[in-house]
């Protein structure tokens, strides 16, 4: 169904790209209604327009908050040309038909990027704009709606080639685009008022990725990575890179700046992590924990990377290195590989407080796993030494970032063995002990952390046989006493935290 545009309402914040459209409308003899800065812009182009105030009989009031919210405007947009009653009422109240609505929205997201002043932000919440856009899109059978400047080109082409006529399919397409514009605008405002909401992101924050987890899967990231880090070198981040970068940042965020910490992530699991007196030493210890798994990993530290550390890291192949700072000599070394991704952290809190996952026919959300323990309950045959306590706290934090079932073996704040992703806890323990033995670590004096309770005392027995004498676990099993009694009998230390750290 072809329809010819006879009249247009134009009210836009961004004027760039508007002039050729206005000139086409004028050439076609289309009546133009406008207001405020847009009216002035058109008049400066020597294009006649009718002030919206002549329809509403009201001036712009309340500091510009109310300009177009009037039946004379919305009746002209929403009136159904195929309904005799609508046409009769429009004639009765002298409401002109409006066939084209060109309206964009106040720059809310752009304002958020430039100020934190609430008054300025609130005033950029558009009311009339979304209302007119939705009205025009709803009445797409009769009305063309253009809701953003990046749609100007298509309208200009249609005006030039179709002499102001549009098809129902074209109007439907413009309406679909318009509803998406308003949806994204509302999401941005909703997220401002609900900052913990991560289940909704605007398409303006959409970044198309090369592919997903595998090459045959399409993928995109919704969000603003510039708020998290600055990329100093390397290729575009992939889906898998981003997943591991998130895991790395979550890990390093657990540690204070009291010591230098270096972590190595592979497939979201920690394969190496250590704390030491310097970033360089922390790197050496982290790598030693599992040098095989570190190949192709994502590296992260909480301190500045210097040249000595960069030269040591440069000896292995890795995908990504994340740090709060790099000195110039270090960057020169690390940039020797053009595809190597270097990320400098910029924000204090780089990860969300909410997590979401698409599941079945919906979305599952939860708060992130914050904290290390809710209690420190010594229940073994002896209390922990100061050194053991430090290692147990460290091990429990590391275990939190391993896939369940998870076991972490730590000695002198160095991960020396880990088991993760196994279907039984005892298999994870065996894997952890095997890893430690593989790289010639003595388990004498090491501590063990478990992400969940021990259902039986077999894990404690096996670990004790390997040389471990201190344990930390959340407790909560109906058979906790079995593991506790074994520790009491054998003078082993055990701490109950009261906080489970499942990770699936």
Catalytic residue status for 338:
no
Q: SS3 for 434?
A: helix
Q: How far apart are CA 269 and CA 438, in angstroms?
A: 19
Catalytic residue status for 267:
yes
Q: How far apart are CA 297 and CA 319, in angstroms?
A: 6
Active-site residue, from 15, 26, 124, 138: 138
Q: How far apart are CA 119 and CA 61, in angstroms?
A: 18
Core vs surface per residue 358-368: b (16+ CB within 10 A) or e: eeeeeeeeeee
Inter-residue contact 486 to 457 (CB < 8 Å): yes
- By CB atoms closer than 10 A (0-12, 13-18, 19+), residue 285 is buried
Active-site residue, from 26, 267, 335, 337: 267
Inter-residue contact 384 to 470 (CB < 8 Å): yes
Cβ count near 182 (within 10 Å)? 18
* 3-class SS string, 204-245: HHEEECCCCCCCCCCCEEECCHHHCEEEEECCCCCHHHHHHH
Q: Which residues contact 30 (CB under 8 A, 6 or more apart)?
A: 5, 6, 7, 8, 100, 164
Q: Which residues contact 224 (CB under 8 A, 6 or more apart)?
A: 205
**The dihedral of CA 341, 342, 346, 350: what is its sign?**
positive
Catalytic residues, by residue number, are 138, 267
């Amino acid at each position: 169904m072809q329809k010819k545009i006879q009249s247009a309402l134009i009210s836009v914040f961004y004027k760039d790209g508007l002039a050729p459209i206005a000139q086409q409308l004028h050439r076609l003899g289309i009546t133009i209604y406008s207001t405020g800065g847009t009216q002035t812009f058109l008049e400066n182009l020597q294009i006649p327009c009718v002030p919206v105030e002549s329809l509403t009989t009201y001036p712009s009031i309340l500091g510009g908050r109310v300009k177009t919210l009037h039946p004379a405007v919305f009746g002209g947009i929403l009136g159904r040309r195929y309904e005799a009653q609508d046409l009769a009422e429009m004639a009765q109240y002298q409401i002109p038909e409006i066939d084209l609505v060109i309206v964009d929205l106040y720059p809310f997201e752009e304002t958020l990027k430039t100020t934190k002043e609430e008054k300025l932000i609130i005033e950029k919440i558009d009311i009339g704009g979304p209302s007119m856009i939705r009205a025009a899109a709803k009445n797409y059978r009769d009305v063309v709606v253009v809701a953003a400047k990046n749609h100007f080109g298509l309208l200009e082409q249609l005006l030039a080639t179709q002499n102001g006529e549009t098809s129902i399919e074209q109007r439907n397409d413009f309406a679909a685009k318009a509803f998406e514009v308003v949806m994204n605008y509302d999401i941005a405002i909703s997220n401002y008022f609900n900052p913990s909401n991560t289940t909704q992101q605007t398409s303006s924050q959409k970044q198309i990725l090369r592919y997903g987890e595998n090459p045959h899967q399409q993928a995109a990231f919704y969000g603003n990575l510039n708020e998290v880090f600055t990329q100093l070198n390397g290729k575009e981040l992939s889906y898998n890179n981003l997943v591991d970068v998130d895991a790395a940042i979550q890990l390093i965020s657990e540690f204070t700046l009291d010591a230098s910490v270096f972590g190595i992530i592979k497939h979201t699991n920690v394969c190496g992590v250590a704390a030491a007196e310097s970033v360089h030493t922390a790197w050496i210890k982290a790598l030693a924990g599992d040098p095989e798994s570190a190949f192709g990993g994502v590296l992260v530290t909480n301190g500045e990377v210097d040249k000595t550390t960069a030269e040591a890291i440069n000896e292995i192949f890795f995908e990504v290195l994340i740090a709060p700072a790099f000195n110039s000599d270090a960057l020169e070394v690390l940039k020797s590989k053009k595809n190597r991704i270097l990320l400098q952290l910029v924000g204090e809190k780089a990860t969300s407080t909410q997590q979401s996952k698409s599941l079945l026919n919906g979305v599952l959300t939860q708060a992130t796993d914050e904290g290390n323990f809710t209690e420190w309950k010594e229940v073994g045959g002896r209390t922990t030494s100061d050194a053991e306590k430090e290692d147990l706290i460290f091990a429990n934090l590391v275990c939190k970032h391993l896939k369940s079932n998870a076991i972490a073996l730590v000695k002198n704040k160095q991960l020396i063995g880990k088991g993760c992703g196994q279907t039984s806890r005892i298999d994870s323990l065996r894997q952890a002990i095997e890893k430690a033995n593989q790289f010639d670590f003595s388990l004498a004096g090491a501590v063990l952390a478990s992400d969940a309770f021990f259902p039986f005392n077999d894990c404690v027995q096996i670990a004790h046989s390997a040389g471990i004498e201190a344990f930390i676990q959340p407790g909560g099993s109906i058979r906790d006493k079995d593991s506790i009694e074994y520790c009491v009998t054998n003078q082993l230390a055990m701490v109950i935290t009261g906080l489970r750290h499942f990770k699936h």
